[in-house]
A and B are shown apart, each in its own frame.
Chain A
Amino acid sequence: MSEKKPLWQTLPIAGILLEPKSSLKYKTGDWRGPFTPKINQEKCTKCLLCWIYCPDGAIERVGDGVRINLDYCKGCGICVSECPVKAITMERL
């Protein structure tokens, strides 16, 4: 059964939502195609360039290193291109 969506009369005006950070609920990871970035932690020098360059903020810092949050990674591959030691690769899943 399809989800019943609200009518125009009952939606909040202008799409304004009284809660902040609502974009977190929108998991854009499902936009990703067949390729997914993967970090080789042994090669990684923890330089954080991928963390800076990721346009979706999908690379998170863990301790002094990084991990990819696949809930939001759209698979653009910018991290792969920016990594100076080629520690990130696009893998077909």
Chain B
Amino acid sequence: MAKVIGLTGDEAVAYAIKQCNVDVVAAYPITPQTVIVEAFSEYVFNGEVDTEFVCVESEHSAMSACVGASLTGARVFTATASQGLALMHEILYIASSLRCPIVMGVVNRALSAPINIHGDHSDMMGSRDCGWIQIYAENVQEAYDWTIQAFKIAEDKEVLLPVTVNLDGFILSHSIEGIKVLEDEDVASFLPPREPVYTIDPNNPITVGALALPNYYFEFKVQQDHALRNSFKAMGKVFSEYEELSGRKYDVLHTYGMEDAEIALICLGSTAGTARYVAKRLREKGVKVGVLKPWVYRPFPEKEIVEAVKEVKALAVMDRACSFGAPYAPLGSDIASILYKSGLDIPVVNYVYGLGGRDVSPLDLEAVVNEILEVAKTGEIKEHLKFLGVR
């Protein structure tokens, strides 16, 4: 029988890292991520792991140290949030373009100003084009499961890309949940030591990070884009293997009620739980609502989403981030693009919600459902981009 323990989101990520035989952790504390590295540093101090824990002076240095460590062939983890992720921005691109399979826990938090420590997706969305695989967890169990799977996806020789596991600040990072954890030896067999393709080694020097001017640079970027899109293949294998081990089945997209849904809500992270709760209650009253949760946000699961939504009459796309001055917020933009590409003429209303950690309640989402039902009925969109619950 699976062992169930009570852990917060941050502690669950630290617990997963303890089991993943990580060689190097270089990290800098920032709320609400701090508990991940704090809890992990205790494992290091107590000798429960043999990880090299590098204390650095900033997130820019943390990610730089991670890139260096990863190039030596080490398995590397770090975690950050908000301003910390923004400070890493430059090195995020270097990590993905040098094909370093680093795993990073991003505990999503609003960006300043005004200063705010609570959960929204502005941080990750601000770096969404950094070339990393980006995964969003809905609850603490998922944060644990995704962290373990992330290493296996990242280190696959056909992938070799870094992965962020996103968990909503405070909503998940500081909430205790009873989660099913795997035995250490099961994780060890699922995740054998990393087998790097290239390593930097003073005895056998190679060239990493050379200059590529207009006559070569473009080809390397196309290569990188191909690797990211192609990573779905490796994910499929990892999901089946993890299901066998844990009994929990993951995928790139989670759907609820989409078999007969007339309208649907799409959202990332913890809001998906609230959305399903609302959908379930409304379905009991005969309202056919579906919920889609892209677990994997980059690469974007286009095919799966199009397949799931093609019969619905209207869609609500929920974004916990704002893309200032843009036609839609990030997820809204992606959904509108894939509907256009696939020739589906489904009305979309994009809702920006929960910025700076403002709570989104079942009643808020019920109001969204009612608006979308009206759009489905009339085919008329009054506002394409709405700010949910703003005064």
Q: Is the CB of A14 within 8 A of B208?
A: yes
Residues from chain A with a CB closer than 8 A to the CB of B212 are: 15
* Distance in angstroms between the alpha carbons of A45 and B246 in the assembled complex: 74
> For residue B210, which residue of chain A has the nearest CB?
A15
One digit per residue, 1 when the CB lies within 8 angstroms of any chain B CB and 0 when it does not, for chain A 16-28 equals 1111111100100
| Prevailing SS type, chain B contact patch | loop
Q: Is the CB of A11 within 8 A of B197?
A: no
* Distance in angstroms between the alpha carbons of A43 and B205 in the assembled complex: 41
Within the complex, the shortest CB–CB distance from B230 to chain A, in Å, comes to 12
Within the complex, the shortest CB–CB distance from B220 to chain A, in Å, comes to 5
Among B204-229, those with CB < 8 Å from A are 205-212, 215-216, 219-220, 222-224, 226-227
Chain A: interface size category: 10 to 19
Q: Is B153 an interface residue (CB 8 A)?
A: no
Q: Is the CB of B219 within 8 A of A16?
A: no
Q: Is B173 an interface residue (CB 8 A)?
A: no
Within the complex, the shortest CB–CB distance from A2 to chain B, in Å, comes to 11
Among A22-36, those with CB < 8 Å from B are 22-23, 26
Residues from chain B with a CB closer than 8 A to the CB of A9 are: 223
Q: Is the CB of B160 within 8 A of A16?
A: no
Within the complex, the shortest CB–CB distance from A13 to chain B, in Å, comes to 6
Q: Is B152 an interface residue (CB 8 A)?
A: no
Within the complex, the shortest CB–CB distance from B14 to chain A, in Å, comes to 30
* Distance in angstroms between the alpha carbons of A2 and B302 in the assembled complex: 40
* Distance in angstroms between the alpha carbons of A13 and B198 in the assembled complex: 10
Within the complex, the shortest CB–CB distance from B243 to chain A, in Å, comes to 30
Q: Is the CB of A11 within 8 A of B223?
A: yes
Q: Is A7 an interface residue (CB 8 A)?
A: yes
Q: Is the CB of A14 within 8 A of B206?
A: no
Q: Is A4 an interface residue (CB 8 A)?
A: no
> For residue A23, which residue of chain B has the nearest CB?
B210
Q: Is the CB of A26 within 8 A of B207?
A: no
Q: Is B109 an interface residue (CB 8 A)?
A: no
Q: Is the CB of B160 within 8 A of A17?
A: no
Q: Is A5 an interface residue (CB 8 A)?
A: yes
- A7, A20, A21, A22: the one within 8 Å of B219 (CB): A7
> For residue B224, which residue of chain A has the nearest CB?
A14
Q: Is B97 an interface residue (CB 8 A)?
A: yes
Q: A22-B207, A22-B210 are in contact. Are A14 and B219 (CB under 8 A)?
A: no
Q: Is B98 an interface residue (CB 8 A)?
A: yes
| Prevailing SS type, chain A contact patch | loop
Within the complex, the shortest CB–CB distance from A28 to chain B, in Å, comes to 10
Within the complex, the shortest CB–CB distance from A22 to chain B, in Å, comes to 5
* Distance in angstroms between the alpha carbons of A9 and B227 in the assembled complex: 11
Within the complex, the shortest CB–CB distance from A74 to chain B, in Å, comes to 14
> For residue B212, which residue of chain A has the nearest CB?
A15
Within the complex, the shortest CB–CB distance from B89 to chain A, in Å, comes to 19
* Distance in angstroms between the alpha carbons of A52 and B227 in the assembled complex: 43
Q: Is B75 an interface residue (CB 8 A)?
A: no
Q: Is the CB of A19 within 8 A of B207?
A: yes
* Distance in angstroms between the alpha carbons of A20 and B216 in the assembled complex: 19
* Distance in angstroms between the alpha carbons of A3 and B210 in the assembled complex: 21
Q: Is B118 an interface residue (CB 8 A)?
A: no
Q: Is B320 an interface residue (CB 8 A)?
A: no
* Distance in angstroms between the alpha carbons of A44 and B212 in the assembled complex: 38
Q: Is the CB of A14 within 8 A of B207?
A: no
> For residue B222, which residue of chain A has the nearest CB?
A8
* Distance in angstroms between the alpha carbons of A16 and B97 in the assembled complex: 10
Residues from chain A with a CB closer than 8 A to the CB of B222 are: 8
* Distance in angstroms between the alpha carbons of A17 and B223 in the assembled complex: 15
- B97, B205, B211, B215: the one within 8 Å of A14 (CB): B97
Known A13-B197, A20-B206; 14 more pairs at CB < 8 Å = A5-B216, A7-B219, A11-B219, A11-B220, A13-B160, A14-B98, A15-B209, A16-B198, A16-B206, A16-B207, A17-B207, A18-B198, A20-B205, A22-B207
- Give the interface of A toward B (CB within 8 A): 5-9, 11, 13-23, 26
Closest 7 CB pairs of A and B: A20-B205, A8-B219, A17-B207, A8-B222, A14-B99, A22-B207, A8-B223
- Give the interface of B toward A (CB within 8 A): 97-99, 160, 197-198, 205-212, 215-216, 219-220, 222-224, 226-227
Write 6 A-B pairs (CB below 8 A) sorted by A numbering: A8-B222, A13-B197, A16-B207, A19-B206, A20-B207, A23-B207
